[in-house]
Structure formats: C-alpha cells, structure tokens
Chains A and B, each alone.
Chain A
C-alpha cells in the first residue's frame, strides 16, 4: 500500500535547522514542509524590503537548511515545500538558484507560487464595494489605507501542487497557509480530489501537527516536560499517511517524544472552533477526532472530518500603528517590589510634568507579575523576601516624539530614586508598532500561479 511520509522542518523564522537536517539525513521521508511565517512576519519582511529591495524573505532556508542538507535531500528525492519566500519570492528563488548552481545541481527544479500578495488589487476591490471588515475590531479600512505595509492572502494548496506536478524539487511560496505546505504534497501523491473533504481535512491536520516543528514532538510540552528525552536534540514530527491510516512519528535517533499528550497539545493549538476550523482548502472538523498511541513514538490520528472550503480567503493587512518603547530597572532585596513600585510612581510623576502624551502605558514587574498579570500571586507571602524584581514600563504613542520622552528619564533613577536601582541593557529605543487588520477577500479576487525555474 502506498505510504507517504512528510516531515515538519521549521516552526517559525528563526527556528533551529538541526531537526530538519537530521531528518533529511536519517528519516525515511519523501517530503518536508518548512513554515517560516507567523502572523506578523510578513509585515516585518515588508519593512525590511522597503529599506533594502534584496531583502523581505527568510534567507535562512537557503543558508541554514539547503546549504547543510539540500543536496542530500535532492539526491534522496526529498522534496521541500516552504513559505520562506515571504514578501520577496523572487529574491528567495534567486538565492536558491545561486546555491544550486554553486553545487553543480544542474536540472534542480525550483518551483514558486505567486498570487498571495494582492496589494495592487486593493483599490479595485474597494471600488467593487468590498469593505474589508476587521474580524477583531470595529474600524474603517479606509482609515489605514495610507499606512499599509503588506496585504497577503492565506492561499491554499493549489499553487504548490501545481509546482509538484511539474516536477519541482523545492517549492517556494509567500503567504501560503502553514498547513497547505503539507496538504499539497499529500493531495498530489494520493490524487485526492479537490472535494475529498475528509482526505483534505486529514492533510490539513497533518500540517497542523507538523507546522510548529518541535512543538509537535515534546517542545513547549506542559504534560511532562521533565521527561522529554534528549531535549537538546529534539526531533521534529513526521506524518505518515496511507489511503487508510494517518500516523505521527519522528526520525530515528533523535530526542523528543511522540505520544497522545504531545499530539493533543499541538492538535488544537491556535484552532478556535474544533468543529469548524476554517482553512483555505477545507473546513476541518476535529470535534470527534481521536489520538491513539500505537507504538513507540507513534500516534494514530482518527475521526478527522471535513466540510466544503469557504468562498472567501483570509487576508492579513499589516499597517503602521505607532511607536513603543520599553524601559527596565532592577531592584534587590529587601523590599524589592516596594522599591520598584515606588520607582514607577516617581517616573510617572516626572513624565506627567514633562507632559508625555502616551496612548497606553503598561507597568509590570518581571519576576513577579509580568507574565501572569492579574492572576499572578501578589500575596504578602509571595512579596516577602523577594530576592529581586525588575520594573518594566512600556509606553505606546502614535507620536514618536512623545514615546521617546521617557527614555532619558530611566537611568537617572539609579542615583535619584529608591536604593539599589540598576539600569541594564543600555538605553531603550523607540520601536515601530505594526498592527494587523485581519479580514477576508473573495476567492475569485486571488489568482494563484505556479512557476518552475530549472537550474542550468
């Protein structure tokens, strides 16, 4: 019976390449998917590209994965699908072409998918009456039109599958949905129809379990993190599918764990309604799904259902929102928290006198409540004998100058404030705040195209 194995090689831009390289060298896989794009990544890439047109993608895919193991992947016929193209697919493809030429890989086929970047189509869509309603907040899209960094649609599997059908050894996309990188090869290999909703849903869930890399194999694992074997050599998950079965496993001779609990934690990660998990390719229903341990580091996925795909596609618009700055000062025992708190009061009084117009101020105490905020333990017992406490003040303003006003006021508190204040990490700087406008576009407004570049 035909079996297809696909590995998850990257969980985000900046992830370790170790597991992907190990997998190419040691696992029996035919495909690998490498996800580089979180929600905001494209906006960051768009900003980089504005400053330097040769940037705007994840060069790490070439420099850290292909350089190390790309030739071996090619030799073993392991085909890799990745959204490393980001905002600059051409730039990414060009880098891969140069790498392949440098390695005498004549005949290497680089596939790439265009069409997710619909910035040029926005004016026409507005004219046609599309209002780009914001999923999360009220607001008028017209108000952000002159502040936009990027407009990218979460596209589905079609473009990637098209490249694979043309023989691509590697497929580069921009904002393809993370799990489409995994669904596309599975659909291509098994010849699933575009309305085989149950199979498509299984393909999407394979992607769901793989797209975050290590998080699917014992990383960020609440259930039993102490006993994850060899976390320093954490392997990433692999999905193995046949016509009838869908298993999650990992490469031989690496760390990590594949068990029911590790799969469960990833299964609903960033899913909202489990009965209606909308993706570009299928509306997935995992409300009756099962995960069953059937062997060492092997879990069988069952009960995944699918319903017809949506008529609209998710569009993420990144735009300029304002500025923020974060300052910190540390305090030690005794009365560390009391000192830090008093210091915050002193700084705020000074800022009031300076007339700082902040749109938002967030004060927290690292080591005490900066993570759990309102539900942190602030009892007398927790505060007593605190060894140390770091005051953290974050300021947001639409006006950069207002935001910057607090920066020079922090370090003087070492000599002018409560005892033992220590300033560290250098002066804070003002950072741009980008915001997302999550919305939809009609499917027919998006034209996805597959291309192939063969290395000479």
Chain B
C-alpha cells in the first residue's frame, strides 16, 4: 500500500478561535473524498499530533463541498493571546495537517 502526504490529494485552511484551531480539508478531486474520509479520522489526527494538540478533535463531514472541518481544542499552546509559539494563531496548522502521511490502495489515485 503506497503512503502519500495528505497534501497530495487535499487542500484547506486553518483558523483560530482562542486556543481552538480549525482546519478545513477538501479533496483536490471528488474521488479523493472517500480516501480522506477513511484515513483522516479524528483518532488518526489526534495520534498524529500527539502532545501538540492537547484537547479533543472533532471532524465534521461536508460532502456537498467535498470536504471536512476539523476542530481541535487546546491546539495552539494557549491561543493567540497566550501562546509562546512562533505561530500563535496556528496559520501553519493547515499545512501541518497536510503533512500527515496516509495510506492509499493501489489504483486509488
């Protein structure tokens, strides 16, 4: 089973509200939607981020847009105001999600 970066089949954007980061993830082609649905579960994302995201991760599926919205609590080291991180607003959380490696079946791409 080949391993690819989520970035190869998806795009999206990260935003912040307090210490909560949201990353919307859209399939670059309609057929990639089911791969993301299968591979990027909240559990998988939580395991991937480890200590970087301290709170729960919720996934909201929006098939009509071919995408998902991930809401990650306590994900920004305290958030804009408090965070000691260089990227206190989590502008790069979107690309951090895209960096996740996922499995695709032969012939799926």
Residues of A participating in the B interface, judged by any CB pair closer than 8 Å: 38-40, 43, 135-137, 215, 220, 222-223, 261, 264-275, 286-291, 303, 318, 321, 324, 326, 360-362, 364, 366, 370-375, 392, 394-396, 433-436, 438
Closest 4 A/B residue pairs (Cβ): A270-B15, A362-B84, A394-B84, A268-B24
Residues of B participating in the A interface, judged by any CB pair closer than 8 Å: 11-13, 15-20, 22, 24, 26, 28, 48-52, 58, 60, 62, 64-67, 69, 71, 73-74, 77-82, 84-87, 91-92, 94-96, 98-100
Which residue of the partner chain B has the closest CB to A318?
B81
Pair A268/B67 contact, Cβ less than 8 Å: yes
Pair A364/B69 contact, Cβ less than 8 Å: no
Q: Residues of A contacting B79 with CB < 8 Å? A: 136, 436
Pair B18/A438 contact, Cβ less than 8 Å: yes
Q: What CA separation (Å) do A371 and B97 show in the bound complex?
A: 12
Pair B87/A371 contact, Cβ less than 8 Å: yes
Pair A273/B60 contact, Cβ less than 8 Å: yes
CB of A341 to closest CB in B, whole Å: 17
Q: What CA separation (Å) do A40 and B78 show in the bound complex?
A: 13
Given contacts A223-B28, A370-B86, A435-B82, contact A275 B60 (CB under 8 A): yes
Pair B86/A364 contact, Cβ less than 8 Å: yes
Pair A375/B99 contact, Cβ less than 8 Å: yes
Q: Residues of A contacting B16 with CB < 8 Å? A: 39, 270
Task: Decide if the interface of chain A is mainly helix, strand, loop or mixed.
Answer: mixed
Q: What CA separation (Å) do A438 and B94 show in the bound complex?
A: 24
Pair A136/B18 contact, Cβ less than 8 Å: yes
Given contacts A136-B20, A373-B85, A433-B82, contact A265 B11 (CB under 8 A): yes
Partner of A272, one of B69, B84, B87, B95: B69
Pair A268/B69 contact, Cβ less than 8 Å: yes
CB of A45 to closest CB in B, whole Å: 14
Given contacts A272-B71, A375-B52, contact A288 B84 (CB under 8 A): no
Partner of A39, one of B18, B71, B73: B18
Given contacts A268-B67, A436-B18, contact A222 B85 (CB under 8 A): no
CB pairs A–B below 8 angstroms (30 shown): A40-B80, A40-B81, A136-B18, A136-B20, A220-B91, A222-B11, A222-B12, A223-B28, A264-B26, A264-B65, A265-B13, A268-B65, A268-B67, A268-B69, A273-B69, A274-B69, A287-B60, A287-B64, A318-B81, A321-B81, A321-B82, A324-B84, A370-B85, A371-B86, A371-B87, A372-B99, A375-B99, A434-B81, A436-B18, A438-B18
Which residue of the partner chain B has the closest CB to A361?
B84
Q: What CA separation (Å) do A268 and B26 show in the bound complex?
A: 10
Q: Residues of A contacting B98 with CB < 8 Å? A: 222
